[in-house]
Amino acid sequence: MLPQLESRISSAVSQHILIRYGVEIPVTLEQPRQASFGEFAIPAAFQLARQLKKAPRAIAEELVAELPAIAGVKTLEVAGGGYINLRLDRGALAFAAVSPGQSAGAAGDGKVIVEHTNINPNKAAHIGHLRNAILGDTFVRMLRASGQRVEVQNYIDNTGVQVADVVVGFHYLDGKKPEDVRALISAEKFDFYCWDLYAKISQHYKDNPDSLQWRRDTLHAIEAGQGELAELGRLVADAIVECHMNTMWRLGIQYDVLPRESEILHLKFWASAFEQLKERKAIYLETEGKNAGCWVMPGSAFDENREDQDSKVIVRSNGTVTYVGKDIAYQMWKFGLLGKDFYYQPFRTYADGHPVFVSTATAEGAAPVSFGGGRKVFNVIDSRQSYLQDVVVAGLKALNYHEQAANSIHFSYEMVAMSPRACVELGIELSAEDQARPYVEVSGRKGLGVKADDLIDKLIDSALAEVASRNEDKTADEQFDAASAIAIGALRYFMLKFTRNTVIAFDFQEALSFTGETGPYVQYGAVRAGKILQKAGALPDFAQVLTPAVCAALLEDEALWQHLLAVSRTGQTLNSALAAGEPAQMARFAFQLAQQYSSFYRDYPVIQETGAEKRAFLLWLTAQYRAQLEQTLGMLGITVPAFM
């Protein structure tokens, strides 16, 4: 309810300023530094001071004296150098909150596409991939909570170098046949097996540079789709995709569609894009210099103020297309600009009944579904690829798709690295140079990193020990369910508490913590609130008991008023977190809400309260806290365990 009130206040004030001073300024509301200053502060007088050449304080006084009454606002006062502090009508606000009303969810026009995860299907997922998937999944949940229609895509590069390398490992190094690999797949943890194999082949390349010819041959065979190497490629990629989907589902992460590189090749997506790019002169055939014979995009296209910027090769001199080229075609498909679509088959159905589809190359047996054609596209990709993302956007611009270029958002984030201490704990030897660094980059090629499933297992073990010691009366299954929820809560919160452009130096001690600013702390608050509601038995009809007069009287207690405000801020926070594209804001809010609840829990013994009206109000607040905590955690992809 606060967002509506807020916009009502801000438009009333800006309208008054327009009439009174003939100046149009956006009036923003701030949360005052101290609660005792009131609910909102308006710094508009400071903005006006410059234009009107008048002291901010004097302007604020004029405004306060002349502003017409605003519904829901009780008093205005001038404070500090020119703030207008504003106090709300407590009883009216509380009654509005108590009465079951319905705020209309603003349905956005058109579909939003969020692409995340995108792990090369050649080895186990690691903590870097977890940050991507958790960030993407959380943003999806936030968008959906705000009423937007969202499609989640997980792009599978099943024909790339990384898959080829593992195939090289199986075929050339280990002399494995497809049936041998099939046997390995049915055994456990195929993705872990490939993790080691990938490190092994990478080292082999390093020691024997000649063997890189194996990679070229294998890549070629995979693209052609024929023969044993291609079969191995399909086996590896398909099996690893299954592993990744399982890992992500442990964290509650689902997808709608898995577009694959193999279909982009077979359905000739690139050919269509290439025609458009040539036709609209977005790229040209270079005739001289080091890029002679290549189709390139001029550097000026993606970096306006740098004429001398190197051009970017899109098609190599041997006629093959680069990754960026394919990415331009793929991005065009996401906006429905390619004039083509994949065919789809069901891939799996999640336990909650939600289906996910995978792209296929033929119409035969295809499911009657279609994807892509979004209005806005968020690509969750780490910041190291920002240069390539710029080139993709430049491609859209050069094709005159300016609106789509503007709606292509690189949802970038910094990498997850390893703290030197974490490396030591894993028994990884570091060079003296690396030891001196604040963090060490995770490297699949070196096999240096923490596997996602290992970390989740470790978290569950550690949570289970805690749960079991506190809840001996519960069954093993119940304990395990609670421990899982807590482990996932800890992991997801840990990945979300940092803002996107902060490098996370992964540290076991911090990631495995269940106290302080963590997911379990927030879950604990929700569990305690749930327990009180459970003990209280049947709840009264709040709207009946808590009349405006009763609310107003109870809310003379300043602390209770602050608690009411605390449970009223979810929508406002969601809007701001979405606008900033920063899930960390939502995570932080969850923590602050839980902190507020802790002090409510300490100060107000709900069950013991004997006054009927007060008891009803405390119960209502408890229910609000529980609901808001649950809802906010839900946006973070964190569930509330039955007990802790």
Partner RNA sequence: GGGCGCGUAGCUCAGUUGGAUAGAGCAUCAGCCUUCUAAGCUGAGGGUCGCAGGUUCGAUCCCUGCCGCGCCUACCA
What residues from 429 to 448 belong to the interface with RNA (CB under 7 A)?
437-438, 441
- Considering only 64, 428, 503, 553, the residue that binds RNA (CB under 7 A) is 503
For 338-380, give the secondary structure using H, E and C: CCCCCEEEEEEECCCCCEEEEEECCCCCCCCCCCCCCCEEEEE
Strand ranges across the sheet with 416-418: 440-441, 416-418, 504-506
Q: Which of residues 223-262 bind RNA (CB under 7 A)?
A: 261
- Considering only 414, 454, 481, 630, the residue that binds RNA (CB under 7 A) is 414
**What separation in angstroms does the CA of 14 have from each of 28, 575, 597?**
9, 21, 35
Q: Which of residues 178-207 bind RNA (CB under 7 A)?
A: none
- Considering only 119, 142, 486, 586, the residue that binds RNA (CB under 7 A) is 486
CB of 424 to RNA, least distance (A): 15
Q: Which of residues 37-66 bind RNA (CB under 7 A)?
A: 37, 41, 43, 46-47, 49-50, 56
CB of 146 to RNA, least distance (A): 16
DSSP assignment string, 182-204? HHHHHSS-HHHHHHHHHHHHHHH
Cβ-based neighbour number of residue 313 at 10 Å: 20
Six token digits for residue 16 = 């008054």
463-479 b/e (C-beta count within 10 Å ≥ 16 → b): bbebbeeeeeebeeeeb
> 48 or 124: whose CB is closer to RNA?
48
CB of 349 to RNA, least distance (A): 29
> 83 or 620: whose CB is closer to RNA?
83
- ∠ CA 423-428-431 to the nearest 5 degrees? 90
> 254 or 632: whose CB is closer to RNA?
632
DSSP assignment string, 208-262? -GGGHHHHHHHHHHHHHT-HHHHHHHHHHHHHHHHHHHHHHHHTT---SEE-BHH
> 462 or 547: whose CB is closer to RNA?
462
Distance CA 436, CA 432 (A): 7
| 385 is a site residue for RNA (CB under 7 A) | yes
CB of 476 to RNA, least distance (A): 15
- Considering only 466, 478, 613, 630, the residue that binds RNA (CB under 7 A) is 466
Considering only 268-276, 331-339, 379-387, 623-631, which stretch makes contact with RNA by CB under 7 A? Answer: 379-387
First to last CA, the chain: 32
- Considering only 105, 227, 605, 611, the residue that binds RNA (CB under 7 A) is 605
Distance CA 88, CA 95 (A): 13
CB 111 within 8 A of CB 375: yes
> 73 or 504: whose CB is closer to RNA?
504
**What separation in angstroms does the CA of 146 have from each of 113, 142, 169, 573?**
15, 6, 47, 11
- Please tell me the count of residues contacting RNA according to CB under 7 A: 98
- Considering only 527, 560, 629, 635, the residue that binds RNA (CB under 7 A) is 527
Query: Residues 454-457: contacts with CB within 8 Å, 24+ apart?
Result: 455/127, 455/130, 455/491, 455/511, 456/247, 456/250, 456/251, 456/487, 456/488, 456/491
Considering only 60-68, 98-106, 168-176, 597-605, which stretch makes contact with RNA by CB under 7 A? Answer: 597-605
> 370 or 509: whose CB is closer to RNA?
509
Distance CA 120, CA 162 (A): 7
> 294 or 399: whose CB is closer to RNA?
294
- Considering only 184, 251, 460, 505, the residue that binds RNA (CB under 7 A) is 505
How long is the chain?
644
> 150 or 199: whose CB is closer to RNA?
199
Q: Which of residues 268-327 bind RNA (CB under 7 A)?
A: 290-294, 306, 310, 313, 316-318, 320, 322-323
Beta strand 284-285 with 149-153 is unpaired
CB of 353 to RNA, least distance (A): 30
> 293 or 336: whose CB is closer to RNA?
293
Helices and strands, number each (H, E), in the chain = 28, 16
| 584 is a site residue for RNA (CB under 7 A) | yes
- Considering only 236, 467, 560, 635, the residue that binds RNA (CB under 7 A) is 467
Q: Which of residues 98-127 bind RNA (CB under 7 A)?
A: 120
> 91 or 520: whose CB is closer to RNA?
520
Considering only 230-238, 241-249, 329-337, 498-506, which stretch makes contact with RNA by CB under 7 A? Answer: 498-506
| 160 is a site residue for RNA (CB under 7 A) | yes
| 387 is a site residue for RNA (CB under 7 A) | yes
CB of 374 to RNA, least distance (A): 22
CB of 177 to RNA, least distance (A): 26
Considering only 108-116, 200-208, 424-432, 580-588, which stretch makes contact with RNA by CB under 7 A? Answer: 580-588
> 549 or 607: whose CB is closer to RNA?
607
Distance CA 219, CA 208 (A): 18
Element (H, E) at 150: strand 149-153
> 150 or 606: whose CB is closer to RNA?
606
| 504 is a site residue for RNA (CB under 7 A) | yes
Amino acid at 410: H
| 517 is a site residue for RNA (CB under 7 A) | yes
CB of 591 to RNA, least distance (A): 7
> 332 or 440: whose CB is closer to RNA?
440
- Considering only 516, 541, 544, 610, the residue that binds RNA (CB under 7 A) is 516
CA atoms within 13 A on the CB side of 599: 11
- Considering only 521, 617, 620, 625, the residue that binds RNA (CB under 7 A) is 521
> 521 or 620: whose CB is closer to RNA?
521
- ∠ CA 479-481-484 to the nearest 5 degrees? 105
Q: Which of residues 65-94 bind RNA (CB under 7 A)?
A: 79-83, 85
> Nearest Cα to 555, choosing from 93, 36, 38, 5?
93
CB 261 within 8 A of CB 303: no
- Considering only 4, 30, 105, 611, the residue that binds RNA (CB under 7 A) is 30
What are the backbone angles phi and psi of residue 258, rounded to the nearest 5°? -115, 95
